[in-house]
A and B are shown apart, each in its own frame.
Chain A
């Protein structure tokens, strides 16, 4: 079964304690991305990766790090989380981006982070 798996699904933590949200896909997709969703602000892209070892900033990258060492995994790292990073986070994947007819992205189930 094609899946985008995020872990953990829920996390409550404290300011400054480093955390990692994992994203794994079994579809051999080249493109992976992270979003956060906040009331009134909608879905905003944090980082994306066109392929292994290639990452780029989205619209709200501050306070986040990513790495793409292998095709199937794209972890989101919060080195020093702050309360303003409390949000619902989604990982998404797509087969590839061609530039003219980009294939749609498919989303994981989401991770709800609360930073106190």
Chain B
């Protein structure tokens, strides 16, 4: 079992729709969770960080964390073509300085 798993996609949504990206992780003691966006050939850029169960909203983005189910998700409302990118879920396992990434989900937003 991979430590952090994401569906590689591509996930295709029409412009203006809600895109839902999912991630599961294996270390039950993980404390810190991040979503990064990466455009082709560019470096990852942070979208959201979340540390406690529940929802966290920032503009069009909402991160959701459920530690009991070991599940973290990212919702993108009113998706725009500029949101087309690969979205990376990253998790810090318990008691380490590591950051483990999922393989990423490619999102395509069609005009």
Residues of A in contact with B (beta carbons under 8 Å apart): 31, 33, 35, 40-45, 48, 50, 56, 58-59, 90, 92, 97, 99-110
Is there an interface contact between B31 and A102, defined as CB atoms closer than 8 Å? yes
Residue B46 is within 8 A (CB to CB) of chain A in the complex: yes
Residues of B in contact with A (beta carbons under 8 Å apart): 31-32, 34, 42-46, 49, 51, 88, 90, 92, 95, 97-104
Is there an interface contact between B97 and A48, defined as CB atoms closer than 8 Å? yes
Mostly helix, strand, loop or mixed at chain B's interface?
Answer: loop
* Chain A residues, CB < 8 A from B44: 43, 90, 107
Cα distance, A40 to B104, chains bound together (Å): 10
Is there an interface contact between B31 and A42, defined as CB atoms closer than 8 Å? no
Cα distance, A104 to B45, chains bound together (Å): 10
Cα distance, A101 to B52, chains bound together (Å): 9
* Chain B residues, CB < 8 A from A104: 34, 46, 49
* 12 extra interface residue pairs, beta carbon distance < 8 Å, beyond A40-B103, A58-B98, A109-B43: A33-B97, A33-B99, A42-B101, A42-B102, A45-B98, A56-B97, A90-B43, A97-B97, A101-B51, A102-B32, A103-B49, A105-B34
